[in-house]
Amino acid sequence: MAEKELKHCSFCDLEQAPSAPLIAGTNGYICEACVVLASQVVSSWGRKKALQEIQGPLSKPREIKQKLDDYVIGQDLAKEILSVAVYNHYKRLKFESGESGLGNASENIEIGKSNVLLIGPSGTGKTLLASTLAKIVGVPFVVADATTLTQAGYVGDDVENILVRLLDTAEGNIGKAEWGMVYIDEIDKIARSSEQSFGARDVSGEGVQQALLRLVEGSQVKVSSKGRRKDNDSSDQVLIDTRNILFIAGGAFPGLEKHVQKRLLPKDSAIGFHAAVSNSEIKPDLESMLNATEPDDLKRFGLIPEFIGRFPILAPLEPLDIDALIQILTEPKNALVKQYHQLFAYEGVELDFEQPALVAIAERALARDTGARGLRSIMEQILRKTMFELPSCEGIERCVINEDVIKCDGEIELIKREAPKQEAAQ
C-alpha cells in the first residue's frame, strides 16, 4: 500500500523525498531539476525564434562588404575586419541555436565574443559603418555617446541606460535585445586623464571605463523595463544577458599617432660629435601610424588595460583625401549630390554640379578637417539662397554650380526654359 503512495517525477522518474520535493500538477508531478531544464528549453525556443526573425539568411563576409560598399566609400581594411567579426559573431549565435549545421563535433567548444574598436579621424564613417552593419544583419541597434556617461551614483547617464535603449529599440523583446548591436561613440573622450591626481575619482573618464567592463564582457544586468531606475521596486525590472550583444566602440583618438611613433621611432639618445642627427620635422603618415596601433599605444593614450582587453579587434580607418570626398558626394545611395538632385527635381528643376565645383567642395571640407561630416554644411551654405528663392520663381529649368560659386562666392547660374514657338510668334 505504501509503494502505491510513492510519488515520482513524471519526466525523470525521481522519487519524492524530503530533499527532493515535487510540484504537483493535474495529471503528474515535476521535480526542481526538470523545471530548470524546461526553463532552459523554452528560453532556447525564444532565442531561436528571435534569430529566425533576423532579415533573411546571414550574409557571408564578402557579401557584407559589398553591401557596405553601397553606403561607405573606401575603408576597405575596416570593412573586411567588421565583416569577418560580424559574420563570426552571428554564426556563433546560429550554432548555439542549433541552426549552424556543424553537427555534434563542436558541442564541447565554446566560442567567445569579439568586440571591435574603430580608430580613425572624425568624419571617416565610423558611425555609418556600424549602423549599416546593423541594417544588413537586421538586429536592434543603438548608438550611445560615451561623453554622456558617468560612473554610477553621479549626475549623468548610467551605462545600464544603454541596455534600456536597446530594449526599447527591440520593442520590449528581450530575445531580440540580447542579440543586438551597440555602438559606443566618442570612446576616446573617456580616456584616463593624465592630469588627474592619484586617489581622485575620474567619474567621466576612468570611472566610465570601469563601469563598462561588466557590460561589455558579458553578464546578467538588471534594467528597468520602463526606462526608469527603481532601486526599491523590482517588479518592473528585467534581466538582460549581454554575452551575445556585439559592442562596437569608435573614437578619433587625436594624438594617438604620437604614441605609435614613439614606439616605432624611438628618439636618439646618443650625444657627441659622431651622433646621428635626427630630423624632427618629418611627420609620420597618419594612416600608417593608425594601422600600426597596438594595445600598448591605447594604454598610453589613457584607456585602462581591462577595457582594452574587452575589445580585441582593432579596425583602423584611413583619413579621407579629395578623391574619396568626391566619391562620397556622388557615388553612395545616400550621396549628397543625389539628395539635392531629388530636392530640386521636386520643383521641376535640374541641378547640375560641374566637376571642378565638386573638387572645390572637397578641398573646402578637407581644409575644415571635419571629414565627410562637413560636406552637408558646405552644400547647405552654397544652395541655401537658391533653395529659398526657387519655389517662388517660375520658368527655371536648370541650376548650374561651377567652380566660381564655391571659391569666389559667385552667383549660381539659373537657366530658364525656352518659350514655346507659338507664343514667341505672337
- Of the candidates 140, 229, 237, the residue with the CA atom closest to the CA atom of residue 182: 140
Q: Is 122 annotated as a binding residue?
A: yes
Pairing, β 237-241 against β 141-145: unpaired
Q: Is 125 annotated as a binding residue?
A: yes
Q: Is 393 annotated as a binding residue?
A: no
Other CB atoms within 10 A of residue 306 CB:
13
HSE value, Cβ hemisphere, 13 Å, CA-based, for 49: 9
| Residue 15 per-residue DSSP state | B
Q: Is 316 annotated as a binding residue?
A: no
Enter the C-alpha cell of residue 110. Answer: 565554446
Q: Is 12 annotated as a binding residue?
A: yes
Q: Is 408 annotated as a binding residue?
A: no
Q: Is 293 annotated as a binding residue?
A: no
DSSP notation for 364-394: HHHHHT-GGGGHHHHHHHHHHHHHHHGGG--
Q: Based on C-alpha coordinates, what's the Rg of the chain?
A: 29
Q: Is 128 annotated as a binding residue?
A: yes
Q: Alpha-carbon torsion 59, 60, 61, 66, what sign?
A: negative
Q: From the annotation, which residues make up the binding site for Zn(2+)? A: 9, 12, 31, 34
Q: From the annotation, which residues make up the binding site? A: 9, 12, 31, 34, 121-128
Q: From the annotation, which residues make up the binding site for ATP? A: 121-128
